[in-house]
Structure 1
Amino acid sequence: MNLSKSKLLRFWHSHCLSIVLFAYILISIVAAMQGLLAGPKVYVPGGRPYIDYNNFRIFKFSFYHLVQNKDIYQLFPNDHWDLYKYSPAFALCFGLLSWMPDTIGLLLWNLFNSLCLFAGIRLLPGLDDEKKSYILLFCLLEMLLSIQNTQSNGLMAGLTVLAFALAERRQYMLSTLCVVFSFYIKIYGALAFVIYLFYPGKLRLMGWTLFWMVFFALIPLAVVSGPQLLLLYKSWLHLLLNDRSASTGVSVMGIMVTWFNLPGAKNIVTLAGILLFLLPLLYVRKYKDLSFRLLYLASVLIWMVIFNHKAESPTYIIAMSGIGIWYWAQRPDAVNRVLLILSFLLITMSVSDLVPAPVRNEFIRPYGIKAVMAIVVWFRIVYEQIFLSYKPDSVAEARTV
């Protein structure tokens, strides 16, 4: 028995990332099959049924509506439920999948989401393969939930982590491409620009950022006219401004409303969150320490969710990526270990079928319990960034800027 266990451990140590890669490919296949085989879904009582993988259909038809010179930010009830809320550039880029049969396109979309995060974690500096594997395993079920809903959250998390990893390697062209593209998917992706304060070559970073911003802003001109593109941007802005006032999400703002009945505190809470988020940047001397930079990456990922007025349960793959990076970027700590376990239980397992449906539907979801541990961990990160001393050897293979 001990010999077999020893062989299994040696195999894990030697092939941990390959095993996790297989797991991420497997859940992408499983999620695609579930969507393709599932029956129609009704989103409002008495409403018309829509195909189960509705979000994928929204992205797919956004390309067709774009090339047909339609306002892509209007409802198209004959094609899908709900509105398209991303940029014209993303609609154009999704054309790479739109022309494919759904069987192939949906699978590739799931793989883009899951493997982008895998690639980002794989490229992180200062962590050995085993720690990277643990981060990815920690996020596995949350990734499955996200791709079961065919959303873009895995891609958002992956692009942010990739941007950081590439910036650490001074590959600024690709790093800024990741951040700018994430912005053109969901505008809160722009939060990741803050990580560039840690690196030299600010003019290069600004130059590449400007290039990619203009590139993605204008690339839809390949299929639409200038006046039509301007109309689309006006329509997108109108949608985003009205969308912001419509909800609070599974977030800090959501808890302020459901727990304390303080709907008017949204702007104050967001401002306080921004100030706390930026506060660790005052400690410029810590920029040279890789652990500090990794914790800031974790802070970015979690902030994107807990202060997002549209955060949903599938959005939490972004926050879970941050929590995993936060924990495994440091030496083991009893308090952090408890927070990690509670995060897994309250964020991932609380919405699973292991929890009785009445508890999920009457307590977990209405009171935004999924947001609680992400908020707690984020405050812990801010505390650690400000009050803990960092050393260049605080994670394996750490190097200074």
Structure 2
Amino acid sequence: MSKKRFTLAWLGEKEWLAMLLWFGLSMVVGIKEFAVHNYNNYTIFKHVYLHTINGQTIYGPYPDVYFDVNNYGVLFSVLIAPFALMPDWLGSVLWVLTNAAVLMLAIRTLPLGRIQQNLIMIFASHELMAASSYFQFNPIVAACIIFGYTLMRKEKDFWAACFIMFAAFTKLYGIVGLAFFFFSRHKLKLIGSLILWSAIWLVLPMAISSPEFVLRSYREWYEALVLKNDKNAQIDHGVVLQDISAMGFIKRTFRLPYLPNIVVMGPALVLFAAQYIWLKYCHDVRYQLLILCSTLLFTVLYSSSSESPTYIIAFPAACIWFMLQPRSTAANIFFVYLLIGTSFSHSDLVTAWVKRNLVVPYAAKAMPSLILWLLIVYQVLSRKFLRWPEPGTQFSH
């Protein structure tokens, strides 16, 4: 018998491999980080719940318990509650696996073939592992954005609004899910659902605290985010692991530490909005998926709070984009660049010297995603997607 030739389709058929990498890498790194007592983020998350039920501010410093501070909305206290009630060794690992599971479920709802979905999981598993090593919540944020799109596409606007507003009330930039508003066939129902879920998510934390505490927490959340943004801008003072964004990359590369973010974000917002000039294609799945990719990338690229593990929101977009491309050597080479330049740039694949002297000081992890985002905008504006095959048909033996 002749052996099957190695192709992306052959790799994507290995669902066991996708599941093993997706959950296995995250579980192993979660256990490893807990074993060496490197789970500060999880400790912060756990205490969001504990401080909420005790009526203590969830945004103040608690140096005797953990370093850094919480920057999530008070709704997060309800989400983390089941894990906070467990022993840390169990709660932390289940938290990591839950994040992985929710993002996997979101990927499974994408209007792509099963092989393409498996390939996204295989290629993004390393980025998920990086987020899991920090016990990050960002996989669920990415999942909420994807669910916002896929549920709207299936005309389940009520549930799409649920995920969009949940993301917004826990980590503010989840509101980008509104980018899919024009894909809805039931816009009035969607608007009503957004208002209803906003009220639900606003009130829900009051069940474990009080109305006064929740309203005070939202005021403090705003103040905490303003303070965090100011700190992220201080790259000349050594804050180099924050602001791994388009702004951070440009400021550090061109030695412009005091460049106002609006100088970069202003043109970016114009370019993002320009993609909607082709709304007559709003029900074309290729156009929809490009807007989804653009939204996921934009969320990370134009947030001064972006860190390396935040790219679990952006990198699935690179994988989805690659699944849409007609097969070509150029697309393959560029995706390899995205894989190395984004997912592996903070890993041991690059040398310590490169990481210390190039990747970290210049926020170089943002560059491949920035190039990809500009390419996607070009592909949308030039209507390149109209010449692409329907999703799910690119991979065959």
Over residues 91-150 of structure 1, what are the superposed CA-to-partner deviations in whole Å (9 max), with x where a residue is unaligned? 12211210011122112111121122211111111x211111111111111110000111
Pick aligned residue for 1:366 from 361, 365, 370: 361
* Correspondences of 1:70-219 after superposition (within 5 Å): 70-125=56-111, 127-219=112-204
> Counterpart of 1:91 in 2: which secondary structure?
helix
1: distance between equivalents of 2:278 and 2:124?
Answer: 30
Please report how far the alpha carbon of residue 17 of structure 1 lies from its aligned counterpart in structure 2 after TM superposition: 3.2
Please report how far the alpha carbon of residue 206 of structure 1 lies from its aligned counterpart in structure 2 after TM superposition: 0.9
Amino acid at match of 1:275: V
Pick aligned residue for 2:232 from 247, 262, 265: 247
Amino acid at match of 1:382: V
TM-score, normalised to structure 2's length?
0.91
Please report how far the alpha carbon of residue 392 of structure 1 lies from its aligned counterpart in structure 2 after TM superposition: 9.3
Is contact 1:21-1:118 (8 Å) kept? no
Query: Alpha carbons of 1:207 and 1:17: their partners in 2 closer, same or farther (altered >3 Å)?
Result: farther
Residues 1:283 and 2:268 aligned together: no
Residues 193-202 or 379-388, more deviating: 193-202
Between Structure 1 and Structure 2, how many residues are aligned? Answer: 383
Query: Alpha carbons of 1:256 and 1:343: their partners in 2 closer, same or farther (altered >3 Å)?
Result: same
RMSD: 2.1
Residues 262-271 or 147-156, more deviating: 262-271
Is contact 1:63-1:92 (8 Å) kept? yes
Is contact 2:102-2:139 (8 Å) kept? yes
**Residue aligning to 2:53:** 67
**Residue aligning to 1:27:** 25
Please report how far the alpha carbon of residue 172 of structure 1 lies from its aligned counterpart in structure 2 after TM superposition: 1.7
Please report how far the alpha carbon of residue 8 of structure 1 lies from its aligned counterpart in structure 2 after TM superposition: 11
1: distance between equivalents of 2:184 and 2:77?
Answer: 32
2: distance between equivalents of 1:396 and 1:372?
Answer: 27
Is contact 1:303-1:378 (8 Å) kept? yes
Please report how far the alpha carbon of residue 228 of structure 1 lies from its aligned counterpart in structure 2 after TM superposition: 2.1
Is contact 2:246-2:301 (8 Å) kept? yes
1: distance between equivalents of 2:210 and 2:166?
Answer: 22
TM-score, normalised to structure 1's length?
0.90
**Residue aligning to 2:237:** none
Pick aligned residue for 1:261 from 236, 244, 255: 255
> Counterpart of 1:245 in 2: which secondary structure?
helix
Over residues 257-304 of structure 1, what are the superposed CA-to-partner deviations in whole Å (9 max), with x where a residue is unaligned? 111233233112112111111111121212121101000000011111
Provide structure 1 residue ranges, at least 5 long, that are not aligned to the other structure: 39-50
Amino acid at match of 2:189: R
Please report how far the alpha carbon of residue 161 of structure 1 lies from its aligned counterpart in structure 2 after TM superposition: 1.4
Pick aligned residue for 1:375 from 370, 394, 397: 370
Query: Alpha carbons of 1:16 and 1:392: their partners in 2 closer, same or farther (altered >3 Å)?
Result: farther
Amino acid at match of 1:32: G
Query: Alpha carbons of 1:312 and 1:7: their partners in 2 closer, same or farther (altered >3 Å)?
Result: closer
Please report how far the alpha carbon of residue 67 of structure 1 lies from its aligned counterpart in structure 2 after TM superposition: 0.5
> Counterpart of 1:288 in 2: which secondary structure?
coil
Pick aligned residue for 1:232 from 217, 236, 242: 217
**Residue aligning to 1:2:** 2
> Counterpart of 2:244 in 1: which secondary structure?
coil
1: distance between equivalents of 2:9 and 2:370?
Answer: 37
Residues 259-268 or 197-206, more deviating: 259-268
1: distance between equivalents of 2:356 and 2:9?
Answer: 43
1: distance between equivalents of 2:381 and 2:293?
Answer: 15
**Residue aligning to 2:15:** 17
Provide structure 2 residue ranges, at least 5 long, that are not aligned to the other structure: 234-242
Over residues 166-218 of structure 1, what are the superposed CA-to-partner deviations in whole Å (9 max), with x where a residue is unaligned? 22211222222111111122111101111121121001111111111111111
Is contact 2:152-2:160 (8 Å) kept? yes
